[in-house]
């Protein structure tokens, strides 16, 4: 319990900063909605001269992306990137800091099992991410009503916003596992940023090319907002895949951490 509280205190500042950042991006980008909607409406009017086939194709695309949920999904893709970074950072940091700050021998000589140490750390990080996730979900609903003023499918919104939490958890697991495997991580951000960026780029390629392989690789594309808007549910395959990654990741972390050599000063 002491360890859990200690880790929560240590993570308080960064959790606050991350939550505020996510909300700031949400509010800044959502505030453009009315303007973009007007741009789009004006453009759809101009389009009347062109051939019906093209007008229809582009018209549907524009309507989709400038509907309240469509625009929110666009904004959400940036939020997801930051969230993934928070998750990865939290996971890498919570494990690697003991060795980096030379406090590993202090902690590991306490009459505590490795399992209880890693459990306390795991839960503390999880708590931080849950707090961010829940605040974000509530704020996303408020921001939607505030900036769009139109009716939308509330269930779909909540489902989309919840994928932030799931994505954060996946990256938290990855970060946790990374820090357990690599004995000495000198700088957290220089590990987490390139990893998250790589996944983000794979996601970009997935959406440009529509390639299934890219999609399985890119965690960012596991939950397609358009699918959620249409079906008000997640794709089962990717929900299972996410849960599997999280469970396997934590199980591996437990096994490795209980046995590994930890270098004292």
Partner 1 sequence: MNIFKREMRANLKSLIVWSLSMVMLIGAGMGKFSSTSGASAEMTELISSLPNSLKAMFGFGNFDLSKAIGFYAILYLYIIVMGAIHAAMLGAGIISKEERDKTTEFLIVKPIKRHTIITNKMLAAFVNVIILNVITFSVSYKMVSMFTLDASLFGQIGMMMFGLFMIQLIFLTIGAAFAAINRNSKKAPVLATSTILIAYFLNMAVQLSGNLSFLKYFTPFQYFTADSILNEGTISIGYVVLSIIIMVGMLTVTYSRYEKRDLMV
Q: What does the binding site for partner 1 look like in residue numbers (CB under 8 A)?
A: 25, 28-29, 32, 35-36, 39-40, 42-43, 46-47, 50-51, 54, 57-58, 61-62, 65-66, 71, 74, 78, 82, 186-190, 193-194, 197-198, 201, 204-205, 208-209, 211
Q: Looking at beta carbons only, is 144 or 196 nearer to partner 1?
A: 196
Q: Looking at beta carbons only, is 116 or 216 nearer to partner 1?
A: 216
Query: Cβ 91 to partner 1, closest distance in Å?
Result: 16
Nearest to 10 by CA among 96, 137, 112: 96
The CA distances from residue 200 to 18, 88, 95, in Å, are 19, 13, 24
Query: Cβ 9 to partner 1, closest distance in Å?
Result: 18
Q: Looking at beta carbons only, is 128 or 188 nearer to partner 1?
A: 188
d(CA 178, CA 249): 9
Tokens of 55: 């007008």
Tokens of 67: 């509907």
Query: Cβ 104 to partner 1, closest distance in Å?
Result: 16
Q: Looking at beta carbons only, is 66 or 148 nearer to partner 1?
A: 66
List for the chain the helix, strand, coil content (%; round to 5). 85, 0, 15
Element (H, E) at 260: none
Q: Centre a 10 Å sphere on the Cβ of residue 107 and count the other Cβ atoms it contains.
A: 14
Question: DSSP string spanning 13-45?
Answer: HHHHHHHHHHHHHHHHHHTTHHHHHHHHHHHHH
Query: Cβ 124 to partner 1, closest distance in Å?
Result: 20
Q: Looking at beta carbons only, is 39 or 150 nearer to partner 1?
A: 39
Query: Cβ 250 to partner 1, closest distance in Å?
Result: 26
Query: Cβ 148 to partner 1, closest distance in Å?
Result: 15
Q: Are 166 and 243 in contact (CB under 8 A)?
A: no
Q: Looking at beta carbons only, is 41 or 150 nearer to partner 1?
A: 41
């Amino acid at each position: 319990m002491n360890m859990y509280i200690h880790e929560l205190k240590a993570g308080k500042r960064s959790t606050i900063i991350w939550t505020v950042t996510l909300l700031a991006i949400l509010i800044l980008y959502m505030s453009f909605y009315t303007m973009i909607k007007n741009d789009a409406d004006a453009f759809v009017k101009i389009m009347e001269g062109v051939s019906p086939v093209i007008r229809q194709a582009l018209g549907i695309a524009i309507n989709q992306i400038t509907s309240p949920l469509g625009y929110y999904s666009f904004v959400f893709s940036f939020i997801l990137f930051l969230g993934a970074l928070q998750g990865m950072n939290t996971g890498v940091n919570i494990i690697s800091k003991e060795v980096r700050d030379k406090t590993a021998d202090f902690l590991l000589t306490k009459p505590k099992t490795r399992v209880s140490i890693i459990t306390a750390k795991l839960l503390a990080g999880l708590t931080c991410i849950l707090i961010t996730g829940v605040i974000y979900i509530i704020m996303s609903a408020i921001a939607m009503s505030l900036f769009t003023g139109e009716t939308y499918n509330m269930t779909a919104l909540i489902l989309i916003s919840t994928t932030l939490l799931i994505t954060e958890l996946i990256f938290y697991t990855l970060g946790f596992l990374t820090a357990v495997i690599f004995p000495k991580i000198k700088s957290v951000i220089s590990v987490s940023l390139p990893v998250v960026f790589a996944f983000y780029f794979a996601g970009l390629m997935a959406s440009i090319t529509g390639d299934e392989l890219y999609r399985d690789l890119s965690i960012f594309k596991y939950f397609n907002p358009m699918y959620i808007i249409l079906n008000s549910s997640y794709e089962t395959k990717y929900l299972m895949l996410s849960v599997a990654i999280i469970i396997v990741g934590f199980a591996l972390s437990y096994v490795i951490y209980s046995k590994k050599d930890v270098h004292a000063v």
